[in-house]
Structure 1
Amino acid sequence: MKRLSDINLRDPYILPVSRENTYYLYGTDGATAWHGKPAGFDVYKSCDLLNWEGPYPAFRPGPTFWGTHHYWAPEVHFYQGKFYMFASFKAEGIARATHILVADHPLGPFQTHGDSPITPRHWECLDGTLYIEKDGTPWMVFCREWLQVTDGEMYAVQLAPNLYDTVGEPILLFKASSAPWSKPGEGGEQVTDGPYLHRMGNGQLVMLWSSGGYQGYATGLARSVSGKIIGPWKQDETPIFHEDGGHGMLFQDWYGNLLLTLHAPNNNPKERPIILRVEERSGTLEMKEVSSAF
């Protein structure tokens, strides 16, 4: 058994599966996040969010799989009876892209869903996440990297019902510079990372996303004025987490508590998944006292 403090993961994603009384934890392996060829993606499991079993091999690429390094930010969604992993990959001479994988169980084994990535071929992209609109239409929100556009961009693209293809062109939602809390780097670059969509109790659609902040890596909220994925999107003035941690997502435990997981610090190889208790209050997300158990 391991505690979260023993697990060197970036970009954590926790999938609760109530019928198994099990939480599944995915993420970017810290040891190979920037250098080397990863074996694939692993998964950990827990019944209490305190003690974690694993790692178990969730995805191992076949000999013809195109991605060779930078296996980043896997997240798993249950959709139409199967588990779909959205993850980013890179290869020499090939733009970073999000590829969709599929399995019958959260432990995998995950296989490629479609022959090619789902993001635009010549764009440097990452961190695709699935969002199902109120009318049942699947969308993917993803980032276009600052490496290519300087001012990082956030896009949404409609997906076919079977998730094999996109429908129409990507829609620009906002740029990193639209958030007052996003700090430009020395070359003027601004990052868009880790989008995650959440419908608040008051019906408002918000997006968690991360960027460089004035006290380190940070996570803030954008709000859809229309309540739909296409926006327009308005940025909060201050981040909800500013202490050098980010790429977060929200989930509920078995008792209905709303929890936020993200990695902190944003310093390889010291990054670890952490879990924070949050509350929806006055239209925003407020951190409650952090449990030492996590």
Structure 2
Amino acid sequence: MSGKAIVLAVMLLNSITFVFSQNRVPTLRQDIPLDSIRLSDPFILADKKTSIYYMTGTGGMLWRSSDLKKWTGPFNPVKTDPESWMGKNPMIWAAELHDYKGKYYYFATFTNRAVKIDTVGENVIERRASHVLVSDSPEGPYVPMADPTYLPANKPTLDGTFWVDKDGKPYMVYCYEWLQNLNGTIEKIELKPDLSGSVGEGKLLFRASDSPWSRQKENGKVGPNKVTDGPYLFRTGTGRLGMIWTSWIYDVYTQGVAYSKSGTLDGPWVQENDPITPPNYGHGMLFRTLNGKWLMAIHSHKSSSGRSIRIPHLLEVDFSGDKLVVGTSYIP
């Protein structure tokens, strides 16, 4: 990652650390337009059972809307175990909501800043991992399940997402963070049938350096960026398995796409040459509206007066053919 990009990342952490806390009491707001909400890594569940849209993301809070126009929130849907590895007040990143076999699952990255697992160069690495909670309701409370950990304690992992592959088995797809391995990866791990834990070990899908579009300058040399961020899986109309994921082009937050030659998570994964979203947009996901229209939820990313500003957006998409095509902004 370029020096400027690292500075931006530090600014983000310093400016919004408070919003990660699940123990803070949020101030409830009503009828808030989407572009007035400050939210990283937006994820929207269009819940057919309640006819409500539920949105979450970094910070772990929950917003709800009946029409995608006006939102009410934030609500706190999470109840973690203070005696677990997460500690009493974990930071929560990139939360996702998934409806699966009659229950609702909360995939998120939890960080316990009091526990240090490694030091690589100048980077002190905190205990951070992707994990899954469960609820009977989309609004929570989401609580822990059987396994105390899903991924190794000595590896910083993040941005876990959910996919059921062609073998019918559920998987978590996640990032192994570049801060430790110096070349971020995207990996998979099998989950138990009820998602209450993981099975076996993680498997590499691809590395950050496989990207032809990301860029960084280090020691005077230009090459692929180190960062892998925000994977999300989809299948095109022709049955092709794709994955959107995010990295950087120098100091510009950027989203690209890869496709699996085998049509399964095992790949091999072939990266598209060019990004698929506008500059400084990233960490997208796809969802189908209650009216049947496919959209991408994504956030814009910029620095202003020493603060990082992240705003959720909706973009039109079409993947009815062989590839994902991202269109213009969607106005509900």
Q: TM-score normalized by structure 1?
A: 0.90
For residue 118 of structure 1, report the CA deviation from its aligned partner: 0.8
- Contact residue 246 and residue 262 of structure 1 kept, 8 A: yes
Task: Structure 1 unaligned segments of length 5 or more: list them.
Answer: 30-40
Partner Cα distance (2:64, 2:135) in 1 = 16
Aligned to 2:65: 46
Structure 1 residues 84 and 125: alpha-carbon distance in aligned structure 2, compared to 1, 3 A threshold = same
Letter in 1 for 2:315: L
Alignment of 1:163 with 2:195, yes or no, is yes
Partner Cα distance (1:98, 1:289) in 2 = 32
Q: Deviations over 1:104-136 (max 9, x none)?
A: 111001111235231222111101111011332
Give the alignment partner of residue 93 of structure 1, picking from 116, 127, 148: 116
- Contact residue 8 and residue 269 of structure 1 kept, 8 A: no
Partner Cα distance (2:82, 2:320) in 1 = 49
Report the structure number with the largest CA radius of gyration. 2
Q: Deviations over 1:217-238 (max 9, x none)?
A: 1111110100011111110001
Aligned to 1:110: 142
Task: Structure 2 unaligned segments of length 5 or more: list them.
Answer: 1-30, 118-126
Partner Cα distance (1:89, 1:198) in 2 = 25
Letter in 1 for 2:97: V
Q: Percent same amino acid at aligned positions? A: 40
Q: Deviations over 1:42-61 (max 9, x none)?
A: 11111111110111111143
Aligned ranges for residues 182-221 of structure 1 at < 5 Å?
182-184=214-216, 186=218, 190-213=226-249, 216-221=252-257
Partner Cα distance (2:208, 2:278) in 1 = 16
Q: Deviations over 1:20-42 (max 9, x none)?
A: 1111000113xxxxxxxxxxx21
**Runs (4+) off by over 4 Å:** none
How many residues end up aligned between the 2 structures?
282
For residue 62 of structure 1, report the CA deviation from its aligned partner: 4.3
Structure 1 residues 185 and 99: alpha-carbon distance in aligned structure 2, compared to 1, 3 A threshold = farther
- Contact residue 217 and residue 242 of structure 1 kept, 8 A: no
Structure 1 residues 266 and 195: alpha-carbon distance in aligned structure 2, compared to 1, 3 A threshold = farther
- Contact residue 84 and residue 148 of structure 2 kept, 8 A: no
RMSD: 1.9
For residue 182 of structure 1, report the CA deviation from its aligned partner: 1.4
Q: TM-score normalized by structure 2?
A: 0.80
Aligned to 1:37: none
Partner Cα distance (2:147, 2:199) in 1 = 17
Give the alignment partner of residue 101 of structure 2, picking from 59, 80, 84: 80
